[in-house]
Amino acid sequence: MLGRLSYESLGYLFLLTLSIPCFAADEAVKIPSNHEHRAHQEAFAADRLSFWQRRLNLGDWRITVKICRAGDLRRETVGNVHWDPDKKTAVIRVLDASDYQIPFAAVLRDVETTLVHEMVHLELAYLPRNESSASPEEQAVTRITDALLKLHRNE
């Protein structure tokens, strides 16, 4: 039964709090800032780009990754790719971690998925494209991406 605390109970609580370690502000567990998350996201994206570029045999392409805010992407997307097949250049844009509503580790996993997805599009860059082929291509790219990542994550 909960009741009022006696002076004796308050004394015990006070002694108990003295035994709990206290930390100075600079020793406390630090929550990363958006800037730190972005720096980590950029480094992670660069690492994963390098890995998947080798794995997908896209070494002859000059691919860059840009972290961008949600307003810079089409609604309800987390990335895109723009490429020039003649010059073999591409820019992959991925959503900034600060625009996600999921834990940071899950953001990084999604960034890798987005990178692989967009790089699979590069594999298909030489195929003819039109409005009627866009949806089937997107479905195929998604299935290929899922298969590649499943294989990679089970290695």
Per-residue pLDDT tens over the stretch 24-82: 444 444 456 677 888 999 999 999 999 999 999 999 999 999 999 999 999 999 999 99
Q: Which domain holds residue 150?
A: 29-154
Q: Judge whether 80 lies within some domain.
A: yes
Report the CATH number that the domain containing residue 40 is assigned in CATH: 3.30.2010
In terms of DSSP bridges, do strands 79-84 and 89-95 run parallel, antiparallel, or are they unpaired? antiparallel
When mean pLDDT is compared across 8-17, 83-92, 133-142, the lowest value belongs to 8-17
Q: Judge whether 3 lies within some domain.
A: no
pLDDT of 18 strictly over 50: no
Question: What does the CA dihedral 43, 48, 51, 56 come to, rounded to 10 degrees?
Answer: -140
Give the integer Cα–Cα distance in Å for 122 and 131. 17
* Count of structural domains within the chain: 1
**Contact assessment for residue 73 and residue 95, using Cβ atoms and an 8 Å cutoff:** yes
The model carries a pTM of: 0.76
> Which whole number is the average pLDDT over 104-130?
93
Q: Judge whether 93 lies within some domain.
A: yes
The pLDDT, as a whole number, for residue 29 is 43
Q: Judge whether 95 lies within some domain.
A: yes
